[in-house]
Structure 1
């Protein structure tokens, strides 16, 4: 049974003090970049770092006494896990979370920190979910689905109410889609109030399951390629979420990892917002496609739980994408002063040497030669291109690594 608009309002009225109304932040930076008026829905500032708390809290708080007595169980790669664990701690009920073996260590630690019993099982959401269902059947614990549940959908839909409250004349809303719980709830909330508002779902091109399902008119398994957007890496969307989305969605679009990396980097540098890959896909699409000039648009930034190791890579790859980090492999004659000539050219170009790796021993380095890998910080693509051209004119042997 699909949730109603009235249930979304009920979830809003019963959310308690622990579920926050998150801010809607106008961004001159992204407005200039996209040609639209961009307002960022900062859901990554929600308690537990993600919108998932909304659904978990409402679902668990509404369980009958018998349902709470045996506790709850859920499967998740991270954000739903933390939401269920925290909501369970508020209700003081037992909680078991099944997470994939490759889940982010920081998300596993955070989930345990909220008091959950964490079991690592499977390599993806589907395998973890199968284990969670098995535990539910054996123990009587209530299964808290990550997205395909009317109460979960209703509580996520409160985000749509908040957007309309803060920006009644919004033209378009961009919603990340994995299993579809958030998009389904937001669609019901927004289309009930104003059907003319365009709602666009955004998926990773590596996991376009809802995109393919809507296109085919039936649930379709799709995806499996590697992506940094693990939070929306769902091969098969929910039956309930699909039935809502196929009827109400205006469009579903796809973005790839390079678009995601650029959006994450720009959010950190320009807005000081740390948002996880799955959380930035709406903004990533706006930056890459610039689809709505002059329109008031809201991309929902759904979560901020980023693995710290990944964050370091995002900074480096973001700098490289912007032409501000140049990595070169140079082959030099192994004699005094050879490297100084390179350094002089770099200095003249006003570039900064970040890292130097010197190699004489590798099998592809001839005797009498030395390999040097340089990481250089530049002011942008124009300066980087100028330095590359100068090195070519000097007949310096090099390979461009980024």
Structure 2
């Protein structure tokens, strides 16, 4: 584990058996609570590793990133530790809670682009014009390294897992987890979960190349990928056993189910693990399963819909 992470009071994050869900689903289901980091998502691990490693360069030039929310917040938090200049581009449809949280770190937030991929192009241009450092989530090696520490913490608890389910966005999370898991548990089944409203990463795995979508229609903003990064999809394809496409209509009920059964609030990008389990229950019955609760940033409207709607179980 990176030295800077070893000295964080929140590491390791909680990891425990979900008793109620395990009983209802007929399996031994465990939750890795990455929503319990100071920024409410797993992204902080890689952000701290990257900023600590490159702090001299960042002090000189500052940092520019693009994000749907969690990556930008994690980087802004990490950069604020050393009080370096930081600009975060977010899409115009960014959740209010994520935008507000980023601003509280002192970062300069620019809302530009109809989605994450457009924001990314604006951020790249801004960095070129200003001379700031630009770091792309998914490509930045430290993001996968940080994710790998999640796998290390899971293995430290038990090495007898059948399956691990990982939300699949740009790929850095599953890449880091899979690389570490394969070293110790080569036979573990590693499955990525993609929302049906943003299927490009599912297509990249099953059809060889992800299609650049005209737009995405997913409530799971952290998993919204319109244009896959080919380098990353090539790298992770051989690390995963499968990628499941999860119906969009199951995500909000999954948020409700987490509240009802485990009393935790998760964002749709994290709730996709539970939705994926329910949608593929026959292939998971009786297994010992690890899942990653990736984040807790929920729009008020999504929470209202979850509370007024039905549960998955």
- Is 1:148–1:241's contact at 8 Å kept on the other side of the alignment? yes
Q: Within 5 Å, which residues of 2 pair with 1:245-394?
A: 245-290=236-281, 291-318=283-310
- Distance in structure 1 (CA, Å) of the matches to 2:209 and 2:276: 25
- Distance in structure 2 (CA, Å) of the matches to 1:236 and 1:218: 10
Residue 69 of structure 1 and its aligned partner are, at CA, apart by: 1.5
**Alignment-derived partner of residue 350 in structure 1:** none
- Distance in structure 1 (CA, Å) of the matches to 2:210 and 2:75: 26
- Pairs aligned (count): 311
Deviates more, 1:39-48 or 1:139-148: 139-148
- Is 2:251–2:271's contact at 8 Å kept on the other side of the alignment? yes
- Is 1:208–1:223's contact at 8 Å kept on the other side of the alignment? no
- Is 1:56–1:144's contact at 8 Å kept on the other side of the alignment? no
Residue 67 of structure 1 and its aligned partner are, at CA, apart by: 3.5
- Distance in structure 2 (CA, Å) of the matches to 1:212 and 1:149: 23
Select the residue among 153, 175, 183 that pairs with 1:184: 175
Residue 104 of structure 1 and its aligned partner are, at CA, apart by: 1.1
Classify 1:59/1:19 alpha carbon distance in 2 versus 1 (closer, same or farther; 3 Å).
farther
Q: Within 5 Å, which residues of 2 pair with 1:153-232?
A: 153-222=144-213, 224-232=215-223
**Alignment-derived partner of residue 125 in structure 2:** 134
- Is 2:138–2:172's contact at 8 Å kept on the other side of the alignment? yes
- The structure that is strand-richer by fraction is 1
- Is 1:98–1:119's contact at 8 Å kept on the other side of the alignment? yes
- Structure number with bigger Rg: 1
Q: Which runs of 5+ in 1 are unaligned?
A: 1-8, 323-402
Residue 77 of structure 1 and its aligned partner are, at CA, apart by: 1.4
Select the residue among 40, 44, 47 that pairs with 2:38: 47
- Distance in structure 2 (CA, Å) of the matches to 1:27 and 1:151: 30
Residue 19 of structure 1 and its aligned partner are, at CA, apart by: 5.5
Residue 178 of structure 1 and its aligned partner are, at CA, apart by: 0.9
**Alignment-derived partner of residue 105 in structure 1:** 96
Q: TM-score, normalised by structure 2?
A: 0.94
Q: Within 5 Å, which residues of 2 pair with 1:237-252?
A: 237-252=228-243
Q: Within 5 Å, which residues of 2 pair with 1:26-105?
A: 26-105=17-96
- Is 1:180–1:237's contact at 8 Å kept on the other side of the alignment? no
Residue 44 of structure 1 and its aligned partner are, at CA, apart by: 1.0
- Distance in structure 1 (CA, Å) of the matches to 2:15 and 2:178: 18
Higher relative contact order (CA 8 A, sep 6+): 2
- Is 1:75–1:99's contact at 8 Å kept on the other side of the alignment? yes
Residue 86 of structure 1 and its aligned partner are, at CA, apart by: 0.3
Residue 219 of structure 1 and its aligned partner are, at CA, apart by: 4.4
SS in 1 for 2:310: helix
**Alignment-derived partner of residue 4 in structure 2:** 14
SS in 1 for 2:175: helix
- Distance in structure 1 (CA, Å) of the matches to 2:158 and 2:214: 35
Q: Which runs of 5+ in 2 are unaligned?
A: none
Residue 124 of structure 1 and its aligned partner are, at CA, apart by: 0.3
Residue 125 of structure 1 and its aligned partner are, at CA, apart by: 0.6
- Is 2:159–2:185's contact at 8 Å kept on the other side of the alignment? no
Q: TM-score, normalised by structure 1?
A: 0.74
